[in-house]
Amino acid sequence: MRKKNLWRPLAAVSLLAFSGFAALILAASPQSHPIGVKITAALFAVGVVWCGFEIFLRHQNDLRYIATMNRRLESSGQSVPQHMMMPIAILNRDMQFIWYNDSFEEAIASGVDFFGKDLADMLPTLPKQLAEHDTAEVTVNDHTYHVFQSDYVRSGGKTHMLCFQDISDYVKLRHHFWDTRICVLSIVIDNYEDTMSAVKPSERSAVLAELEALFDRQFDGTDCIFARLEDDKFLVLVESQYYIAMEHAKFPILDEVRKIVVGGKNAMTLSIGVGRGGTTLSQNEMFAQQSLDMALGRGGDQAAVKTKSGYNFYGGVSKGVEKKSKTRHRAVAKAMRELLESCDRVFIMGHSLSDLDAVGAAIGTAFIAGSLGKQFRIILNPKATLAGPLVEQLITEHPDWLISPEAAASAIEQDDLLIVVDTFSKDILEAPAVYQAANHVMVIDHHRKMVNYLDNTTLLFHEPYASSASELVTGLIQFLDFRENLPRFCAEALLAGIMLDTKNFVMQTGVQTFEAAAFLRTQGADPVTVKALFAASMTAYRHRSLLVSDAELHGRFAIAVAREAVPDMQVIAAQTADDLLGIEGVDASFVIFPNDSLACISARSLGKMNVQVIMEMLGGGGHQTMAAAQVKNCTPTALRIRLIETLDSLETADSAASDET
């Protein structure tokens, strides 16, 4: 603003005030001279004009000052963004660079000409992130930037301004925080008591010393805390940065520990439960215990990691080790008796599309409930079962034992007990509504635990090493020691369940399997009568033979595809998968078939390949040697392609792991 002398405005105001005061005096005096009055009036008029002139000049000067400041601000507005410390870029509607400042050129472009180039070509990760959130995080030249996007629409079109805020220090702090978070590993030696029972004390000490040496090698350099809680239980606290490397390597300790042989014949295995991502250390410890329970429920010899969406599993390639001790059977039998005596009625059900094992275990459980004087009903849909001959015999001999899923859902009450046999999954229950309505639930199952398992159980009898649910129920009957003998019909139903899941005592058999079969034989079970329950029609046999002849070999896998659905297709597929295992060089077999809008797979293996893991990747589950999957809105041909891709990915992962080893 241009400076101006103050004497002129002061003089103008003084003249105006003096003349005005003099005029008032002269006007009040009766002896005032006319000439004096005229002079005073003239001076007052001059003062008024002079003051008005000074006000006009003052206003003009203010306008000049505003105009000058506008010119200076406009000049600064054009030059300041160019020299700002924050990188800024402007893009046109086609996301092409049309301007960027000096900081952007120095920090982001680094000497590369960005003008006219597409954002997707120069910074490929940005467009997708900005399209979803209007903000993004990008790393350029070893610096991490938080990118903000602002859109401007003008007559000339739409432009986008990107501002890059350097957050490298924050990202380093964030990484350090997550890298140093404590992960909890709960480790258990599988079946420790049975494995060590026949070992000399000196050899046991040598085995445990070798195991601890293995732990030392695996956790060397990780600055972890390792504690031995019991003879077979260990606790490890390790930072997340070291744990992540362990998980990426798929827990090599699982493979290394199998090299430790106990008593010259049994390989040692571990189950690992991992807790991480919790808000507190105690929450991670709880996650680790839940993961360990899941690993043990799936047969052990694996690591289970609890995540936000469920669980991740590593390992699980060996068979579950059979427990020789029957302490668990005795304890469950006692608890089951107490639970049955405290309830009013008993409802028993298996999985949907029930097979001989599910129906046989249900019949055996019904015998237990009836022997204890309880009213019972078996929930079953006779029109959707794979155990047709056994169900028909049940309807003929004991029609009052059955109840439909719909009737059971409305009949079950608060003090009733629901016993679920041959499944541990919520997804394949015969009557999900009954499970939702039940306040007391007991589960008897031998399948490896899946993620969506039954969690509100009052009593759980889950033994993945067992051959079948019928074997477990038979063991309970032995320990309950009823005065009356097991009826022949019930004994044959249980034996049929065992024979189905063991493939006539070939697969998944142990000492207790044969003990259960021997007990059932003493109760009158006739193997010839049981064999008749497996008889297939000539039409089914022809379809099975056709599937076997059309099967193809994909490496060490046999794959057969049924193009059309036929009656009893589930049974035919399972039998075909069993037959394909007899081909030389086949470790696992898969039979794909349509079922309404579903494409289904029946999978079998001889134990070298864990088909449960493969089926879980396709949305199914099961056991290590028997598994299945159902895929909605998919054709058998499309499912075959997905299966082959899954098998190839597993083979590639196994080869990579072998190369690293």
**In this predicted model, what pLDDT tens digit does every residue of 607-650 receive, in sequence order?**
778 888 888 888 887 777 888 888 888 889 999 999 999 998 88
Cα–Cα distance between 404 and 430 in angstroms, integer?
A: 10
* Distance, CA of 213 to chain centre: 33
Cα–Cα distance between 160 and 153 in angstroms, integer?
A: 9
Give bridge partners of residue 443 from the DSSP assignment. Answer: 420, 460
Give me the sheet containing 182-189, strands edge to edge: 225-230, 233-239, 182-189, 270-275, 302-307, 310-315
User: What one-character DSSP code corresponds to residue 249?
Assistant: T
Stronger pLDDT, 191 or 361, i.e. the higher one? 361
Say how many residues make up the chain. 661
363-393, pLDDT tens digit by residue?
A: 999 999 999 999 999 999 998 888 888 999 9
- 327-532 folds as inorganic pyrophosphatase (n-terminal core) (3.90.1640)
**Does residue 658 surpass a pLDDT of 60?**
no
Secondary structure class of 163 (helix, strand, coil):
strand
User: What one-character DSSP code corresponds to residue 139?
Assistant: E
Alpha helix segments (H runs only) across 372-450? 388-397, 405-411, 432-437
315-343, pLDDT tens digit by residue?
A: 765 554 445 556 778 888 888 998 999 89
- 88-174 folds as Beta-Lactamase (3.30.450)
- 538-660 folds as Diaminopimelate Epimerase; Chain A, domain 1 (3.10.310)
Cα–Cα separations (whole angstroms), residue 92 to 110, 153, 160, 523, 615: 21, 10, 6, 86, 50
SS3 track for 633-658: CCCHHHHHHHHHHHHHHHHHHHHHHH
Cα–Cα distance between 238 and 389 in angstroms, integer?
A: 56
Stronger pLDDT, 310 or 526, i.e. the higher one? 526
Query: Exposed, middle or buried by CB within 10 Å (0-12, 13-18, 19+), for 582?
Result: exposed
CB 330 within 8 A of CB 313: no
Query: Exposed, middle or buried by CB within 10 Å (0-12, 13-18, 19+), for 378?
Result: buried
Query: What is the predicted pLDDT for the residue at 145?
Result: 93
Query: What is the predicted pLDDT for the residue at 596?
Result: 77
E strand or H helix at 67: helix 34-83
Alpha helix segments (H runs only) across 416-510? 432-437, 469-480, 488-502
Cα–Cα distance between 438 and 453 in angstroms, integer?
A: 16
Helix-strand-coil split of the chain, %, nearest 5: 50, 20, 30
User: What one-character DSSP code corresponds to residue 344?
Assistant: S
CB 527 within 8 A of CB 533: no
Cα–Cα distance between 146 and 124 in angstroms, integer?
A: 15
Residues 6+ apart with CB under 8 A from 322: 194, 465, 510, 511, 512
Residues 6+ apart with CB under 8 A from 94: 118
CATH superfamily of this structure's domain 180-315:
Reverse transcriptase/Diguanylate cyclase domain (3.30.70.270)
Secondary structure class of 263 (helix, strand, coil):
coil
Q: Which amino acid is at 187?
A: I
Query: What tokens appear for 219 in the block?
Result: 């956790």
Query: What is the predicted pLDDT for the residue at 661?
Result: 46
Secondary structure class of 72 (helix, strand, coil):
helix
Cα–Cα separations (whole angstroms), residue 542 to 536, 537, 538, 570: 10, 9, 6, 15
Stronger pLDDT, 523 or 503, i.e. the higher one? 523
191-230, pLDDT tens digit by residue?
A: 777 777 767 777 788 888 888 889 888 888 888 899 888 8
Task: Using pLDDT thresholds of 50, 70 and 90, give the confidence band for residue 595.
Answer: confident
Report the chain's mean pLDDT, rounded to a whole number. Answer: 84
Cα–Cα distance between 450 and 303 in angstroms, integer?
A: 14
E strand or H helix at 271: strand 270-275
How confident is the model over 74-103, as a mean pLDDT? 77
512-541, pLDDT tens digit by residue?
A: 889 999 999 999 899 999 988 887 778 788
Query: What is the predicted pLDDT for the residue at 470?
Result: 94
44-88, pLDDT tens digit by residue?
A: 777 778 777 777 777 767 766 676 666 655 555 555 567 778 898
Q: Which of 470, 472, 454, 442 is nearest to 337 (CA)?
A: 442
User: What does the longest C-alpha to C-alpha distance in the chain come to?
Assistant: 156
**Does residue 173 surpass a pLDDT of 90?**
yes
How confident is the model over 597-614, as a mean pLDDT? 85
Cα–Cα distance between 574 and 190 in angstroms, integer?
A: 31
Residues 6+ apart with CB under 8 A from 526: 488, 492
Residues 6+ apart with CB under 8 A from 391: 354, 359, 380, 382, 385
C-alpha distance across the termini of the chain, in Å: 81
Task: Using pLDDT thresholds of 50, 70 and 90, give the confidence band for residue 91.
Answer: confident
Share of the chain above pLDDT 70, in %: 89
CB 368 within 8 A of CB 340: yes
Secondary structure class of 157 (helix, strand, coil):
strand
CB 91 within 8 A of CB 123: no
Task: Using pLDDT thresholds of 50, 70 and 90, give the confidence band for residue 2.
Answer: very low
CB 544 within 8 A of CB 537: no
- Supply angle C-alpha 246, 251, 252, rounded to 5: 105
Query: What is the predicted pLDDT for the residue at 346?
Result: 95
Stronger pLDDT, 1 or 504, i.e. the higher one? 504
Residues 6+ apart with CB under 8 A from 533: 356, 387, 389, 390, 492, 496
Residues 6+ apart with CB under 8 A from 399: none
Query: What is the predicted pLDDT for the residue at 152?
Result: 82
Stronger pLDDT, 156 or 526, i.e. the higher one? 526
Cα–Cα distance between 349 and 360 in angstroms, integer?
A: 11
Task: Using pLDDT thresholds of 50, 70 and 90, give the confidence band for residue 424.
Answer: confident
Query: What is the reported pTM?
Result: 0.61
User: What one-character DSSP code corresponds to residue 106?
Assistant: I
CB 51 within 8 A of CB 16: yes
Share of the chain above pLDDT 90, in %: 28
How confident is the model over 395-410, as a mean pLDDT? 93
Residues 6+ apart with CB under 8 A from 601: 590, 591, 592, 615, 618, 620, 628, 629, 630, 631, 639, 643
Q: Which amino acid is at 287?
A: F
Cα–Cα distance between 446 and 463 in angstroms, integer?
A: 5
SS3 track for 518-566: HHHHHCCCCHHHHHHCCCCCHHHHHHHHHHHHHCEEECCEEEEECCCCC
CB 639 within 8 A of CB 602: no
267-306, pLDDT tens digit by residue?
A: 788 899 999 888 888 999 999 998 888 888 777 888 988 8
Cα–Cα distance between 432 and 428 in angstroms, integer?
A: 8
**Does residue 450 surpass a pLDDT of 90?**
no
* Distance, CA of 3 to chain centre: 76
